[in-house]
Chains A and B, each alone.
Chain A
Amino acid sequence: MAGRVFGQSIPRNEDPYLLTGQAKFIDDIELPGMLHAAFYRSDYAHARIKKIDVSEARKLPGVIAVYTAEDFGEFVRPGPLQVPPPTAIKGSIFHARPLMPIAKDKVRYSGEPLAVIIAENRYIAEDAMDYIVAELEPLPAVTDLEKALEPGAPLVHEDLESNLAALVKQERGNYEEAAAKADVVIKKKIYVDRGAGAAMENRGLVVNWDDRAREMTIWATTQAPIPLRNSIATRLGLFEEQVRVITPFIGGGFGPKIMTSQPDDVLLPIIAMWLKRPIKWIEDRRENFLATTSERDQIHYAEIALTRDGIILGVKDVFYHNTGAYDPYGMTVPLNTQTHTVSCYEVPNFYTEIRMVFTNEYVVTPVRGAGRPEGVFVMERLLDYAAQELGMDPAEIRRRNLLRKERFPYPTGIIGQDFVEGVLDSGDYPETLRRVMEVIEYEKFRKEIQPQLRAQGKHKGIGIVCFTEGTAVGPYEGARVTVGANGKVTVATGISTQGQGHFTVFAQIAAEQLGVDVKDVNVITGDTGHFHWGAGTFASRGMGVAGTAVYNAAVKVRQKALQFGARFLGVSEDEVELCDGKVCVKGDPSRSMPLGEIALKANPTRGTIEPGVEPGLEATAYFGPPYGATGAGAVAMIVDVDPETMAVNIEKFAIVHDCGTVVNPLLLEGQVMGGVHMGIGNAFYEKIKYDENGQLLTASLMDYLIPQATDMPKEMIVEHLETPSPLNPLGMKGVGEAGAIPTPACFMQALEDALYEYRLQIDETPLNPSRLWELVQQAPKK
Chain B
Amino acid sequence: MKPIPFEYFAPTSTEEALEHLANLGYNGKVLAGGQSLIPAMNFRMARPGALVDLNGIPELAYIKPTADGGLAIGTMTRDSKVEHSPEVAQRFPLLLEVMPNIAHPQIRNRGTFGGSIAHADPAGQLPAISIVLNANLKVLKKGGERWVKAEEFFLGPFMTVLEPEEMLAEVVLPGLPPHTGSSYQQVSRQKGGYSLAAVASVVTLDTAGKCTSARMVMISVGDVPILSEAATRILVGQKPTPEAIAEVAEIAASKEIDPGTDIHATAEYRRHLVRVLVRRSLSTAFERAAK
Residues of A that sit less than 8 Å from B by CB: 122-123, 126-127, 130, 284-286, 644-645, 647, 685, 687, 689, 697-698, 700, 702-703, 705, 707-708, 710-711, 768-770, 773-774
Contacts and interface: CB of A to CB of B under 8 A. Distances in A.
B190 interface: yes
A705 B187 contact: no
B190 A770 contact: no
B196 A644 contact: no
A700 B43 contact: yes
Interface stretch (B14-22, B106-114, B145-153, B260-268): B260-268
Contacts of A698: 263
10 contacts: A123-B2, A127-B5, A285-B1, A697-B263, A705-B190, A707-B190, A710-B191, A711-B190, A773-B269, A774-B269
B44 interface: yes
A645 B187 contact: yes
Nearest to B1: A284
Given A644-B276, A774-B266, A768 B189 contact: yes
B45 to A, nearest CB: 11
Interface in B187-222: 187, 189-194, 196
A689 B5 CA distance: 32
B81 interface: no
A708 B192 contact: yes
A125 to B, nearest CB: 9
A664 to B, nearest CB: 32
B263 A127 contact: no
A769 B263 contact: no
B265 to A, nearest CB: 4
A703 B263 contact: yes
Given A286-B43, A703-B263, A769-B265, A127 B187 contact: no
Interface string B257-290: 0000001111011101100110000000000000
Nearest to A122: B2
Given A126-B2, A769-B196, A773-B272, A708 B190 contact: yes
Contacts of B196: 769-770
Given A703-B264, A705-B190, A774-B266, 12 more contacts: A123-B3, A126-B1, A126-B44, A645-B187, A685-B190, A710-B191, A768-B264, A769-B269, A770-B266, A770-B269, A773-B272, A774-B269
A644 B275 CA distance: 10
A703 B263 CA distance: 8
Contacts of B270: 770
Nearest to A698: B263
Nearest to A283: B1
Which 3 A-B residue pairs are closest in the complex by CB-CB distance? Answer: A770-B265, A770-B269, A284-B1
A758 to B, nearest CB: 15
Interface string B211-249: 000000000000000000000000000000000000000
Contacts of A647: 187
Contact of A710 (B2, B4, B190, B194): B190
A130 B189 CA distance: 35
A348 B276 CA distance: 50
A709 to B, nearest CB: 9
Contacts of A773: 269, 272
A684 to B, nearest CB: 9
Contacts of A700: 43
B237 to A, nearest CB: 29
Contacts of A703: 263-264
Contacts of B266: 770, 774
Given A127-B4, A286-B43, A645 B265 contact: no
Contact of B187 (A123, A286, A697, A769): A769
B189 A769 contact: yes
Given A127-B5, A685-B189, A708-B190, A645 B273 contact: yes
A702 B189 CA distance: 11
Contacts of B4: 127, 130
A645 B1 contact: no
Contact of A645 (B43, B192, B193, B276): B276
A60 B2 CA distance: 17
Nearest to B42: A284
Given A122-B2, A647-B187, A689 B263 contact: yes
Interface in B110-154: none
B259 to A, nearest CB: 11
Contacts of A286: 1, 43
A286 B42 CA distance: 10
Contact of A708 (B44, B191, B272, B273): B191
Nearest to A286: B1
Contact of A768 (B5, B194, B265, B273): B265
Contact of B264 (A126, A284, A770): A770
A645 B43 CA distance: 32
A768 B270 CA distance: 13
Interface string B147-174: 0000000000000000000000000000
Contacts of A774: 266, 268-269
A698 B273 CA distance: 23
A317 to B, nearest CB: 29
A708 B190 CA distance: 7
A700 B45 CA distance: 13
Nearest to B280: A644
A290 B162 CA distance: 36
Contacts of A689: 263
A570 B191 CA distance: 71
A700 B270 CA distance: 22
A126 B2 CA distance: 7
Contacts of A284: 1
Contacts of B187: 645, 647, 769
Contacts of B1: 126, 284-286
Nearest to A711: B190
B269 to A, nearest CB: 4
Contacts of B194: 702
A284 B2 CA distance: 9
B182 to A, nearest CB: 20
Nearest to B275: A644
Contacts of B276: 644-645
A677 to B, nearest CB: 13
Contact of B189 (A122, A285, A644, A705): A705
A428 to B, nearest CB: 38
A613 B61 CA distance: 78
B46 to A, nearest CB: 14
Most A CB contacts (10 A, CB to CB) among B190, B268, B270 go to B190
A130 B272 CA distance: 43
A126 B45 CA distance: 13
A773 B189 CA distance: 13
B151 to A, nearest CB: 28
B124 to A, nearest CB: 13
Nearest to A691: B263
A123 B5 CA distance: 9
A643 to B, nearest CB: 10
A130 B3 CA distance: 12
Contacts of B265: 768-770
Nearest to B197: A645
A707 B190 CA distance: 8
B15 to A, nearest CB: 33
Contacts of A122: 2
A106 to B, nearest CB: 26
B236 to A, nearest CB: 27
A753 B266 CA distance: 24
Most A CB contacts (10 A, CB to CB) among B43, B189, B191 go to B189
Contacts of B268: 774
A646 B9 CA distance: 47
Contacts of A126: 1-2, 44
Contacts of A705: 189-190, 193
A641 to B, nearest CB: 13
A57 B191 CA distance: 43
B192 A687 contact: no
Nearest to B5: A127
